[in-house]
């Protein structure tokens, strides 16, 4: 009987079509199935995107549109914000290219003893974790060694504390940069972007500026009475037209251009941004084949503004923002220029590659859900450069 049963099973198996091999019939998507799919994706995107942040600043055609800074006061000898030692405090992130400009100026001008600094942790956190309706994620303070934080979605584990160049809020003990804005604004309005750098006035107890281009210009010119390196002028009058021209196209095409690539939500917006980006990089390569710096034969504000984007490019933007047509280290002039600027006394203090890579790869779940930080390419910024062929730095 057993052999007969086996025989029947064998016959059935050989004659019956295999369910595993049977092709599934094609079922075209209906309008309803597409709507359901889009709703599911929208819910997933909402859960992954850290609320009211720059990641959400996208136009109807999928192009990233950066919001303007909202605090635009200036340091002047005769205004409400006068240049004084110890009066001002900078809130920065070593990860942020805009904030890194201000750190460069503090060190280049020799103002680090006169302007105090608080440095945030690189990984964004939910800034109102007890409010389920508040999805915002942003900069936080982790001032104790041994403390670890995860990204907004709960992925990863990243150390903080002074041993990792993370400080507490030295002025108020705030948990988040958002709290600093709330303090200055009496409660920030919905839609406020809680960005760094912040230049805070201890005397009037408010934010002076959160516009990096204006902060660095004031640090360059308004504190010479107390600056250790007062002879350095990064915005000399004779070069101002050249500096302003470079700043304009570098900002739109490169500084903000990498973000327009990375935060684009449509192929057309990305294609336009990445084309402009590499056109501008090619333009830089051509200029730097003729002179040592972007505006001539001396380091200027134009270099301080361009450098933070370039130094992040190969380590982050090529992968994260899809700017992968070419690495900076594949441009002979640009790569040697990056090393030259980095090796300029004062500039290296604004570069912390652990902060840079940790921030980008851990803070935006919609772009990197599992907060995995790539290992490479680990380029050597201290290797020799060839920029001395244009003569010694002035």
Q: What amino acid positions are annotated as catalytic residues? A: 96, 259
CA-to-CA distance for 174 and 362, rounded, in angstroms?
Answer: 22
CA-to-CA distance for 310 and 280, rounded, in angstroms?
Answer: 12
| Contact (Cβ atoms closer than 8 angstroms) between residue 284 and residue 334 | yes
Alpha helix positions (H), 263-331: 267-287, 301-312, 318-320
Q: Helix 267-287 and helix 240-250: axis angle, to 10°?
A: 150
CA-to-CA distance for 373 and 359, rounded, in angstroms?
Answer: 9
CA-to-CA distance for 5 and 3, rounded, in angstroms?
Answer: 5
CA-to-CA distance for 281 and 277, rounded, in angstroms?
Answer: 6
Closest CA to 290 of 381, 385, 387: 387
Q: Which residues pair with 200 in a beta bridge?
A: 89, 207
CA-to-CA distance for 357 and 164, rounded, in angstroms?
Answer: 13
The sign of the CA dihedral 165, 167, 170, 175 is positive
Could you check whether the bond before residue 383 is cis, i.e. omega within 30 degrees of 0? Answer: no
Tokens of 13: 């198996």
Tokens of 264: 């684009």
The sign of the CA dihedral 137, 105, 103, 336 is positive
Give per-residue burial for 35-73: e unless 16+ CB within 10 Å, then b. eeeeeeeeeeeeebbbbbbbbbbbeeeebbeeeebbbeb
DSSP label of 162? G
């Amino acid at each position: 009987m057993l052999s007969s049963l086996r025989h029947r099973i064998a016959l059935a198996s050989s004659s019956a079509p295999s369910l595993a091999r049977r092709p599934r019939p094609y079922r075209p998507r209906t309008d309803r199935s597409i709507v359901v799919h889009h709703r599911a994706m929208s819910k997933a995107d909402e859960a992954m995107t850290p609320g009211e942040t720059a990641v959400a600043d996208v136009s109807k055609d999928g192009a990233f549109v950066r919001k303007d800074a909202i605090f635009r006061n200036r340091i002047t000898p005769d205004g409400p914000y006068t240049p004084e030692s110890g009066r001002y405090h900078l809130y920065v992130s070593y990860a942020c290219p805009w904030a890194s400009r201000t750190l460069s100026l503090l060190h280049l001008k020799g103002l680090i003893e006169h302007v105090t600094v608080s440095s945030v942790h690189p990984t964004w956190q939910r800034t109102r974790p007890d409010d389920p309706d508040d999805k915002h994620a942003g900069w936080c303070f982790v001032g104790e060694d041994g403390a670890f934080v995860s990204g907004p979605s709960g992925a990863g584990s990243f150390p903080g504390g002074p041993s990792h160049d993370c400080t507490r809020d030295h002025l108020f003990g705030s948990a988040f940069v958002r709290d600093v804005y709330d303090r200055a604004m009496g409660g920030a309005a919905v839609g406020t972007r809680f960005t760094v750098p912040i230049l805070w006035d201890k005397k009037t107890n408010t934010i002076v500026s959160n516009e990096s281009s204006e902060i660095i210009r004031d640090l360059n010119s308004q504190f010479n009475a107390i600056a250790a390196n007062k002879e350095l002028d990064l915005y000399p009058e004779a070069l101002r037209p050249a500096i302003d021209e470079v700043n304009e196209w570098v900002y739109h095409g490169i500084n903000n251009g990498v973000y327009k690539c990375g935060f684009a939500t449509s192929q057309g917006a990305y294609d336009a941004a990445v084309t402009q980006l590499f056109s501008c990089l090619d333009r830089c390569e051509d200029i730097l084949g003729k002179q040592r710096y972007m505006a001539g034969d001396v380091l200027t504000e134009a270099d301080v503004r361009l450098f933070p984007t370039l130094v992040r490019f190969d380590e982050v933007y090529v992968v994260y923002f899809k700017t992968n047509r070419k690495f900076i280290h594949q441009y002979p002039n640009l790569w040697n220029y990056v090393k030259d600027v980095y090796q300029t006394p004062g500039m290296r203090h604004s570069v912390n590659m652990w902060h840079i890579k940790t921030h980008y790869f851990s803070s935006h779940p919609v772009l990197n859900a599992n907060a995995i930080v790539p290992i490479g390419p680990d380029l050597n910024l201290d290797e020799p450069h060839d920029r001395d062929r244009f003569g010694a730095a002035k």
